[in-house]
Chains A and B, each alone.
Chain A
């Protein structure tokens, strides 16, 4: 009785070979990505590391004396931009997510809003640049300032923040809300004291990933007319500015190889901001998954 299934092995060797081949292909695909990253990083390090120094961070850009050129204005421009972008996009983005997830009725209108936000997340960044130029630079009279840049980038990352926050809120079990409401908490108390704290790590992860996207953007900033040569640090939201991606872009475009080395060093500065940010996002996610006991206990 048992003998028959055991005998059934038409082409077993061949099927196993195919399986091994498939595994191999998958491994190769995975390694290809890492390989490119390593080649890229090695090249940038090789070209840029010699130019990296304290002076590179503390000096303004220079055409006349490349060895003394630095990213001071671009670095501070990026810090200003990102701070303002977070201040604008996080409150609005999270509030939108809370509204959509906790308050809004499930009707045609909210489904339409959901669909639109998902679509907005896929709109090319240059389109946000055109919008920013029309609305913030011209209509709201912000000129080509940090404020105009930050608001443009806020629009760019808000859909991503909303989607990430919604996912995080969605992952909080209904039983949390029911328990709080049953004990007499108001809707606002439930959200503030139970739902939001439980969703917070997920929200922060989303915010960090969104900001890491914004920090590398050059196209929308060039579109709103961000400047290339700025030899001062912005002192307020309505000052002119430049940013790291624009500075890198400008240096790449010069004929002399000295400037290409500066561009590589600029990329290293940008990466040294980006990688820790991503690392924090990954760590938060890991910590959050471990902490979320409800996910494993089936409450």
Chain B
């Protein structure tokens, strides 16, 4: 019995020696990613492509929501921490404070843009666009708007039925901040769901419906929804498309997505290799038809690369908070 194990061990040793000779830079190890369900397809797709490059590195992706992801990223216990956090919004002041308390240094990199689409029932022929001011009046806490004719004079008296992501979602955080003006401030008498597909069903099945969720869910269900334009209170309603979102005019409902990288983890060759691989192929991954987000400019991906290489810790988004600047400026200057 012992003899057999010895032989097995020898065979194993010879085999692994052979493997390391043929591919000297072949890496192994685990890369733990968790966070936003919106961002997850990007990191999953990157993991999938990366696997053909480094088959022995095991990249795992969990979906706990942006906030839940940060909890795991900033766990009290270092052994339970994730290496990379998927985020569909920038890290919050509270989370930065927590990072400081538990002693985690992180590097923030932008990876792509997602649009939030505003939709109505396809039979709705009176509403082509809404202004941000109108959206605010509809969605703000305590709003008494119950019928379309209360939204704008000339709209029919039709009961308005609201659909939106529930309060665990990064989309909810972003929309409330962008439209109502205060993060997480929303009326609560709407049909909420964590699953955007449930919201699609709701908006598509209700004549007086109005809803908001990720643009890619509109693209996949074009025939059963009507996309409306959003007018940023300047008389110029913009109806989003991938090209429009890329152009940067769909404001305020385009949002950047980020990865937060544990600085210590980035010193591990497998984590570095994964992120470098992703940033080199970012456009191809982010805009792949089954991922379907908008890629950033190559300038921004280069800024992200430099940030990682330089090990620049901290949040540029937090540093630039309150100033209206574009992403390139933010990540160049902070």
Contact = CB atoms under 8 A, between A and B. Distances in A.
A143 B288 contact: no
A254 B41 contact: yes
Contacts of B219: 255
A230 B60 CA distance: 5
Main secondary structure of the interface of A (DSSP, over half): loop
A143 B80 CA distance: 6
Contacts of A232: 58
A65 B65 CA distance: 24
Contacts of B217: 255
A89 to B, nearest CB: 26
Contacts of A259: 290
B44 A229 contact: yes
A256 B220 contact: yes
Contact of B80 (A65, A66, A138): A138
A250 B37 CA distance: 9
B48 A64 contact: yes
A231 B64 CA distance: 19
Contact of A253 (B37, B61, B64): B37
Range for the number of chain A residues in contact with chain B = 20 to 34
A78 to B, nearest CB: 17
A257 B223 CA distance: 13
A258 B220 CA distance: 10
Interface residues of B, number: 36
Given A137-B80, A232-B58, A252-B195, A62 B48 contact: yes
Contact of A63 (B41, B58, B197, B216): B41
A73 to B, nearest CB: 10
Contacts of B60: 227, 229-230, 240
Contacts of A206: none
B63 A228 contact: yes
Given A64-B49, A230-B60, A143 B79 contact: yes
A231 B80 CA distance: 20
The 10 A-B pairs at the shortest CB distance, nearest first, are namely A229-B61, A255-B220, A255-B217, A63-B45, A229-B44, A227-B62, A227-B60, A63-B44, A255-B216, A228-B63
Interface of B: 30, 34, 37, 40-41, 43-45, 47-49, 51, 58-64, 72, 77, 79-80, 195-197, 214, 216-217, 219-221, 288, 290-292
